[in-house]
Amino acid sequence: MGVDARALLSAIGLPAWLIDAETKKILGVNDAFASLVKRPVEALTGGAALELVDPQDRVREGLRLGLQLGSPLAPEANQPGVTRLVVHGGPSLRVRFTSTPVPAVRPHGRLLIAHEIGADERAMSSSTKDATPPPRPSESGSAKVDATKRPAKIADAARAGTEPADNRDERWRTLFDLCPAPTCVYDLASLQIHAVNEAMVRLYGFDRDELLAMTILDLVAPSDVDLVNSIVEELRRGQWPGVLHHPQTIRHRRKDGGELDTELIAAPVSYGDLRARLVLHKDVTEQKRAESDLVKRARIDAFRGDLGAAMTADEPLPAHFDRVVKAMAHHLDLESVGVWVRDEVTHQLHLQASVGALDRDTARGAALDFGDAWIGRAASSGAPVLLDMWDPAMSDDEVAQAQKACVTHVAALPLVVRKRVLGVITASRSSAFPDELVDILGATAAQIAQALGTAFAYEALRISESLSRSVLGNMPTAVVTINKAGLIETANLATVATFGHAVEELEGRAFATLFATPEADVPALAAQSRGRGLAEWKGLRKSGERFPCELRIFQIDSLRGPGYAAILNDVSERYEVERLKAEFVSVVSHELRTPLTALRGSILLLRGGVLGPLSEEVMEMLHIAERNSQRLMSLVNDILDLERLHKGKMKLFIEPVHAHDIVGRSLDSVKPSADQAGITIDVLGADEVVLGDGDRLVQVLVNLLSNAVKFSPPGSPVIVTTEVEHDAVVFSVIDKGRGIPPSHKRAIFERFEQVYASDAAEKGGTGLGLAISKAIVEQHDGTIGVESQEGAGSTFWFRVPRALASKGKVTPPSSRPRD
Ligand code: ADP
């Protein structure tokens, strides 16, 4: 805190001017000085000091001021001299100056106080004891000074040219008391304080009498007593004969217990018989605090800068951590710093980077477990751990380690991202962690955690990306990804093998070019596919060859936005195998039919008694043989029927036919077995006319009815209904049997599919009935299906076109050859 020059000048009753010893410019004058040299204050301020000095005296005065250059607080500061001043519009004026350095106002500032002397008074001999000390307060009585009246009185006396000694004392006392800087006089021998001014009383809070009962050491804070003692010793030895501007600040204490940092300027004075020092105190507490705050802030800023640079550098993580720990140790005054990162597999902490002894020592051992030691505890709890070596939680080993590293306080801060602890940063010091430092460490931990989290996520993404890439790339099935515009983005090796195009030829090409019949667009195909394969697609190889291709297409999200992925299965081999199988079965069936017919004929002849009467046992055996040959025959017929249906060789004789006629004929055929099982079959619904092949539709309904009878418990009902649905008639067979499990609802319409492997043996049947029924219904442009609840029964239905002709005009079924 600088002292206000104007306040200082106006407080001095004598003519006074303030000059800068370096530039020798006038910094300010008071009114008394202005009236002495008969010039206005403004005209004087800022001018060259020497211009006011009579030319005869300039050399001497210049030398006097010049001597002080670079050493404004040189010992000759208090040296008086007689100078002639140029007075505006009159003769030069002889004055004696007292010159005092005032660094509190300006580093090179000097306060010159003029004592006007008569024309007869020639140069006075200089005396270092000229600074007459103020009378002791006890002598002067009141410590209070009437600042408003005294200056005027002194100025008057000064102008009178004669100056009684009393007045001089009075003036000095006034100057001492009014000096805005806290000032005191103390005895160098006893260190007893002998005089203090108002400013001193105000600054320290002790009243004047308390201060006068103290030594200067009583005012010094315990931490600086040694320092002051050593300075006093030097002064006593005469090491500093002149004015001393202490290079170090000294910490003083106030009455209220507060401490303040002071800068001291001390000058030797005679005080009665005592060898005393006049001491000017400058309170620099705020300045020091501001400076240290500034330094702290600058260091934190520098740290943040370094940290930011470390985090954004294009380097692998370990290099980031190296930079971070170095920046932390350097800027935050830490003895050691470490970054520990959690291993995702072992869940242990591994030291990734460190500075300082403590963490290096720790790293020599195995990796730390979560919860182990103070570092592991921060990881397991997810909260910062701050400990000193006296804490009972510290183990002997840890204390020994810390002692070796010369640290007393340790901190571990977890690196947490979205409630997951990814690691820990550790730090140690030889003193406690201030709150502010803990805050900075916390913020740094958050920043590192963020970087670590991002790096982990990036790594996980990279691994998953490379995994999917290699799985896709090496899959034996062709997979392509397609963008919104229907262009191929990526293709795997199997695509190349299947279609014969190189990857580069495929990328960017329209997806449709992979097919011989590109009809539907990609989104439509995806909607149609919905997770299941689309059969009957004709793939097109680069060679121009066509092949059956099963297509599965679905929506995906890629980095380039939403798109599609397609799985393309070359099913030519499967088709070929199926064709061969079907061909084989059909050949075998054909070949079986003739011998089977002969076999059956022979059995029937035997049973008819052609070769004479047979015993009962033989008859029984022949009955079994006949039943089985009958089963074999119907299997052969079913296989051949199915083959004909698939090849489109089975001709249908489509005509209007009454639904009830179909139902009636079917019931006739099923009745014996239903009666045998004690099952009644009811018919519901109006008689509608359908357009179809009566015999074939009877075949379908018979199959459904005999299944219902076969798979229902004895005595349960079966219902047949017929109903109109728009342009179709729906036949339904409802039973209360065991029902169909959901997994088999589609499959049972395929060839040789039965719900249980035991069905063929236990219930009879071949697993071909529903496949034949489906083929027949579909040849009628109809549909077939089942609704069922397992254990509660099934409803098998088929829908065939309705004849829109009137019921009465139904033509009788035309006779046709049966094959
Ligand atoms: P088959 O009856 O000759 O075995 P189908 O093709 O007619 O052959 O039937 C296939 C399978 O479907 C049967 O074996 C049986 O497992 C199941 N099934 C058919 N109808 C029913 C039904 N009404 N109730 C329960 N299961 C049935």
Per-residue pLDDT, 168: 56
Local confidence band at 147 (pLDDT 50, 70, 90 cut-offs) = very low
Per-residue pLDDT, 720: 97
Q: Are 30 and 53 in contact (CB under 8 A)?
A: no
Per-residue pLDDT, 602: 92
Query: What residues are in contact with ligand 1 under a 6 Å CB criterion?
Result: 703, 707-708, 711, 735, 737-738, 740, 748, 754-756, 759, 765-771, 794
Among the atoms of ligand 1, which is closest to the Cα of residue 706? 2
553, pLDDT greater than 50: yes
Per-residue pLDDT, 427: 92
Ligand 1: distance of its center to the CA of 759 in Å?
8
Per-residue pLDDT, 81: 58
Ligand 1: distance of its center to the CA of 624 in Å?
24
71, pLDDT greater than 70: no
Ligand 1: distance of its center to the CA of 625 in Å?
25
Ligand 1: distance of its center to the CA of 797 in Å?
14
DSSP 752: T
User: pLDDT tens-digit profile of 312-371?
Assistant: 777 777 788 888 888 888 888 888 898 898 887 888 888 888 888 665 455 544 577 877
In terms of average pLDDT, the best of 22-26, 140-144, 712-716, 796-800 is 796-800
Among protein residues, the one with the nearest Cα to ligand 1's atom 20 is 707
Using most ligand atoms within 8 A of CB, pick from 639, 770, 773, 790 the residue to mutate for ligand 1. Answer: 770
Per-residue pLDDT, 635: 83
Q: Are 362 and 338 in contact (CB under 8 A)?
A: yes
Per-residue pLDDT, 799: 96
Of 69, 287, 286, 271, residue with least CA distance to 183: 271
Ligand 1: distance of its center to the CA of 699 in Å?
15
Using most ligand atoms within 8 A of CB, pick from 744, 748, 756 the residue to mutate for ligand 1. Answer: 748
Q: Would you call 470 exposed, middle or buried from its count of C-beta atoms within 10 A (0-12, 13-18, 19+)? A: exposed
Ligand 1: distance of its center to the CA of 582 in Å?
22
Among the atoms of ligand 1, which is closest to the Cα of residue 768? 6
Using most ligand atoms within 8 A of CB, pick from 759, 772, 787, 789 the residue to mutate for ligand 1. Answer: 759
Per-residue pLDDT, 759: 77
Ligand 1: distance of its center to the CA of 98 in Å?
130
Using most ligand atoms within 8 A of CB, pick from 637, 700, 707 the residue to mutate for ligand 1. Answer: 707
Among the atoms of ligand 1, which is closest to the Cα of residue 749? 6
Among protein residues, the one with the nearest Cα to ligand 1's atom 21 is 707
Ligand 1: distance of its center to the CA of 669 in Å?
18
Among protein residues, the one with the nearest Cα to ligand 1's atom 2 is 765
Among the atoms of ligand 1, which is closest to the Cα of residue 738? 25
Of 694, 712, 703, 731, residue with least CA distance to 637: 703
Local confidence band at 301 (pLDDT 50, 70, 90 cut-offs) = confident
Rounded to an integer, what distance in angstroms lies between the CA atom of residue 370 and that of residue 91?
A: 94
Per-residue pLDDT, 343: 85
Rounded to an integer, what distance in angstroms lies between the CA atom of residue 723 and that of residue 685?
A: 6
The amino acid at 115: H
Among protein residues, the one with the nearest Cα to ligand 1's atom 7 is 769
Per-residue pLDDT, 525: 77
98, pLDDT greater than 80: no
Mean pLDDT taken over the chain: 80
Using most ligand atoms within 8 A of CB, pick from 754, 758, 763 the residue to mutate for ligand 1. Answer: 754
Per-residue pLDDT, 740: 94
Per-residue pLDDT, 359: 54
User: pLDDT tens-digit profile of 362-374?
Assistant: 554 457 787 788 8
Local confidence band at 817 (pLDDT 50, 70, 90 cut-offs) = very low
First vs last C-alpha separation in the chain: 124
67, pLDDT greater than 70: no
Out of 22-31, 189-198, 643-652, 692-701, which region has the weakest mean confidence (pLDDT)? 643-652
The amino acid at 645: L
User: pLDDT tens-digit profile of 490-535?
Assistant: 999 999 999 999 989 999 998 888 888 766 677 777 777 665 666 6
Among protein residues, the one with the nearest Cα to ligand 1's atom 4 is 767
Of 27, 110, 29, 98, residue with least CA distance to 68: 110
Which H/E stretch holds residue 19? strand 16-20
Q: What count of residues does the chain have?
A: 819
Ligand 1: distance of its center to the CA of 685 in Å?
25
Ligand 1: distance of its center to the CA of 684 in Å?
23
Local confidence band at 153 (pLDDT 50, 70, 90 cut-offs) = very low
pTM of the prediction?
Answer: 0.42
User: pLDDT tens-digit profile of 410-462?
Assistant: 999 999 988 889 999 999 988 788 888 888 888 889 888 888 888 888 888 88
Rounded to an integer, what distance in angstroms lies between the CA atom of residue 146 and that of residue 137?
A: 15
680, pLDDT greater than 90: yes
592, pLDDT greater than 50: yes
Strand partners, 354: 338
Per-residue pLDDT, 140: 37
Of 120, 119, 74, residue with least CA distance to 101: 74
In terms of average pLDDT, the best of 138-152, 218-232, 453-467 is 218-232
Dihedral in degrees, nearest 10, Cα atoms 59, 65, 67, 72: 180
Grouping H, G, I as helix, E, B as strand and the rest as coil, residue 488 is strand
Q: What is the mean pLDDT of residues 117-140?
A: 37
Ligand 1: distance of its center to the CA of 622 in Å?
29
User: pLDDT tens-digit profile of 775-816?
Assistant: 999 999 999 999 999 889 999 999 999 987 544 444 443 334
Strand partners, 71: none
Per-residue pLDDT, 690: 95
User: pLDDT tens-digit profile of 601-627?
Assistant: 999 999 988 888 889 999 999 998 988
556, pLDDT greater than 80: yes
Ligand 1: distance of its center to the CA of 648 in Å?
25
Ligand 1: distance of its center to the CA of 760 in Å?
9
Per-residue pLDDT, 108: 75
Tell me how crowded residue 255 is: count the other CB atoms within 10 A of its CB: 12
User: pLDDT tens-digit profile of 252-298?
Assistant: 999 998 889 888 888 787 777 788 888 888 888 877 777 677 777 77
Ligand 1: distance of its center to the CA of 388 in Å?
81
Q: In what order do the strands lie in the sheet with 26-29?
A: 26-29, 16-20, 109-116, 93-101, 81-85
Per-residue pLDDT, 772: 92
Among protein residues, the one with the nearest Cα to ligand 1's atom 11 is 754
Ligand 1: distance of its center to the CA of 739 in Å?
10
Among the atoms of ligand 1, which is closest to the Cα of residue 770? 6
Dihedral in degrees, nearest 10, Cα atoms 23, 29, 35, 40: 80
Among protein residues, the one with the nearest Cα to ligand 1's atom 23 is 708
Helix axes 317-331, 285-312, angle to 10 degrees: 170
60, pLDDT greater than 80: no
Ligand 1: distance of its center to the CA of 701 in Å?
13
User: pLDDT tens-digit profile of 103-120?
Assistant: 667 777 777 777 766 433
Among the atoms of ligand 1, which is closest to the Cα of residue 772? 6
Among protein residues, the one with the nearest Cα to ligand 1's atom 14 is 754
Q: Are 689 and 802 in contact (CB under 8 A)?
A: yes
Among protein residues, the one with the nearest Cα to ligand 1's atom 9 is 767
What sign for the dihedral angle of Cα 29, 35, 39, 41? positive
The pair of three-digit structure tokens given for residue 12, joined into one six-digit string: 């001095």
Rounded to an integer, what distance in angstroms lies between the CA atom of residue 524 and that of residue 531?
A: 13
